[in-house]
Amino acid sequence: MFAKLAAIILALGILGCTLLAMRQQRLQAAHELAEAQLRIRKSDEQLWHLRAQIARRLNPENIRDMASGAGPLRPVSSPPPPIAPPELMGPPAPKRADGGAGSRPSRPESSVPRERLAHEPEIMPLEPR
């Protein structure tokens, strides 16, 4: 009888300790979640502060000054260049002695001379179809 009572008391003690440990883990997780939310809130506040500073510093006059200091600008994606007449494309590739065109398939050459591509930043409008 004494052994059964000791086993029950020991089991209840282990159960109580387990319950306290789980409760402590839950409180620790809630604390870490609250800290993470506070860090996120602080980062968001810093982000909005930086955005406000950027907005104050960017006005049309400053943007024009920066753009003029960067040199000539052109769009990021420009329309394809128009097809040049054959006389601007250069001489044809030499043929091999056995009549083949070469060991590798040839890539199509650009229809605009390299000098023109390198030195002309202007963009030609596409003709309507």
- Domain range list for the chain: 40-68
64 — pLDDT class (breaks 50, 70, 90): confident
Give CA–CA dist 60/112, Å, rounded.
Answer: 36
Higher-confidence position of 51 and 114: 51
Residue 35, H or E segment: helix 2-57
Residue 67, H or E segment: helix 60-69
Q: What is the pTM of this model?
A: 0.42
Give CA–CA dist 125/84, Å, rounded.
Answer: 15
61 — pLDDT class (breaks 50, 70, 90): confident
pLDDT digits (tens, 9 = 90+) for 66-118: 888 887 777 777 666 667 666 666 666 666 666 555 555 555 555 555 554 44
Instruction: Pull the structure tokens for residue 58.
Output: 């960017």
Instruction: Pull the structure tokens for residue 128.
Output: 């309507």
Residue recorded with tokens 């600008």: 73
What pLDDT is stored for residue 67 in this prediction?
Answer: 81
